[in-house]
Each structure stands twice: as C-alpha cells, then as structure tokens.
Amino acid sequence: MVGEAVHPFRDQVVLATKVRIEPEEVAEYGVEGALRHHLALSMENLQTDYVDLYYLHRVNEDVALSDVSLAMGKLIDQGLIRGWELSQVSLDLLKEADQVTPVSAVQNLYNMLERDCEQTIQPYCLENGIGLVPFSPIASGFLSGQLHSTSQFEKVDDVRNWVPQLSQENMDKNQPVIHLLNQFAEAKGVTTAQLSLAWMLAKYPNVVPIPGSKNRARILENLAAAQVDLAPVEMQRLDTALNELTIHGHRGTVEVENRQVGYNRATHTKWTN
C-alpha cells in the first residue's frame, strides 16, 4: 500500500523500513545474507529498488553489532540503502556501531516525560551529524490530555498496557504535566499534543518526531505542529517549568531483543517482547 501510494513521486519522499534479525538465520546465512534477504522482501513490498533509511529494530544481544554495522556499510556502498539507523540503543552501542559504518539516525524514546537522551544520546548525535527520530513523542498519547487513569486499553497487544507512565497510579500522579501544558497550549491557541511536538522541533535541529496514529484527524493535528512557532523565551519558560516537575514511571530508552516486560493492568498476562 505504501509503495503504491508513493511510487509516482518516489524521489521526493524519504522511505524508511525496519529489519529484525534472529541468531538462527544469522547462523545459517550470515549477518549480511540475513539483511539482504529481509531488504529484498521490503523493497518488493514497497515497490522500490532502494531504501532511504534502514533501521535495525533493536539490538539483538546474540548478534554482533559490529557485524551488522559492517554489513550495512556494504548495502550502502551498493546503493541498496542510503543510510542505516539504530532503534532503542545506548550511547555505548551507538558509538560502537558508528565507528564501523556511520549511523544516519537513532530512533529512541524521547518526549516531555522521557528526557534522558538529552544528556546521553543527543549530545553525541548533534556532534556527529546523526538524526534523532523520537518515537512516542506524545508519550503514547498521554501528552494529548486525552488519557486518564480510567482509560482502558482493551487489546492485549496494545503497547500502552505496559508503558509505566500509563499505569492508573502514574497517570494520576503525572497530571501536573497536563495542567502545565494546558496553560501554555491555551495561550498559543494549540493543542497539548501540538505543543509537545513543537517543543522538541524547536529544541533541536536534528529531531524528526514520528507520532503514531490511526485517526485521520489526529494525523492532521500532529502535522500542524510543524507550523507552531515557539520563541526562545517561551522555550525557556516551558523547559524551566518542566524541570520543576517530578515524573512518575520511566520506561527507559534502551530496549533489546529477548527482554521480558510486564503489563500495567493485572488482567493481562506477561509476554516476551
């Protein structure tokens, strides 16, 4: 569907896709062979002969990252991909990979509730010309002000069931953040979701947030955040106010394969991610 939609203007869009590799396929085909196999399938599905950004979806602790980085470099040299990226990675792993084949971007958790990367990943990215692609920039919807402690996530695979900030207790405790955003958003004539996106766009030149939504109205709302102008004095006031708040429940920015996580609601069973 995506490939068909962008095919008429393929050269005007940045097309990204992800790959997840398992030790079993690496043992049989090697790292490069496994990457080539998945890339070929992705390019066929996307109706393209190259991919702009090829993401490694989390680092698998059983697959050498240096081997992955080396193989990505070969794909770049052959024109099959324009750049490669890492997802949910620590600074040490980013440096390790970047030394073998320069990394184009990092997709890590970053929003007003999760700001650890401002002190870790982001300084290195800025210094080395690496893009930061924050996922969950609206904190899984919490910063939109539409979620409350009574909100229910019915689907068992809904990621919000195990986001710490979205537990019933923590959503109540984190309401001061919403109160703060409401004050700033009302003064600007924007929504709190738009404000949270505009904040990170104004904060750093290398940030490209990727809010997810299945709702057309929400997608258009998020896109309009790019038109929200925050003056330096407004950014300073907002950052100062955010720094004074205590955030309850942290997911953390680093997640690797084979890590077990639990759900917020006791009605759900645990699963292995």
Q: Which of 120, 127, 35 is nearest to 72 (CA)?
A: 35
Query: Position of tokens 């330096």?
Result: 232
Paired tokens of 212 = 């997810």
3-state secondary structure of 12: helix
For 91, list phi and psi in degrees, rounded to 5.
Answer: -65, -40
Strands ordered across the beta sheet of 16-19 = 16-19, 51-56, 81-87, 105-107, 131-132
The dihedral sign for the CA sequence 125, 123, 91, 200: negative
Check if the beta carbon of residue 159 is closer than 8 Å to that of residue 140.
yes
Query: Position of tokens 């929200």?
Result: 228
Paired tokens of 150 = 């009574």
Residue 136: what residue type? S
How many Cα atoms within 13 Å fall on the side-chain side of residue 165? 23
Sequential pLDDT tens for the chain (273 residues): 888 999 999 999 999 999 999 999 999 999 999 999 999 999 999 999 999 999 999 899 999 999 999 999 999 999 999 999 999 999 999 999 999 999 999 999 999 999 999 999 999 999 999 999 999 999 988 899 887 766 766 676 667 666 777 788 888 899 999 999 999 999 999 999 999 999 999 999 999 999 988 889 999 999 999 999 999 999 999 999 999 999 988 876 665 554 433 333 333 322 232
Query: Position of tokens 């069931």?
Result: 161
* pLDDT of res. 264: 36
What CATH number labels 1-107?
Answer: 3.20.20.100
Check if the beta carbon of residue 197 is closer than 8 Å to that of residue 188.
no
The CATH 3.20.20.100 portion of the chain extends over 1-107
The H-or-E segment that residue 132 falls in is strand 131-132
For β-strands 271-272 and 260-261, DSSP reports them as antiparallel
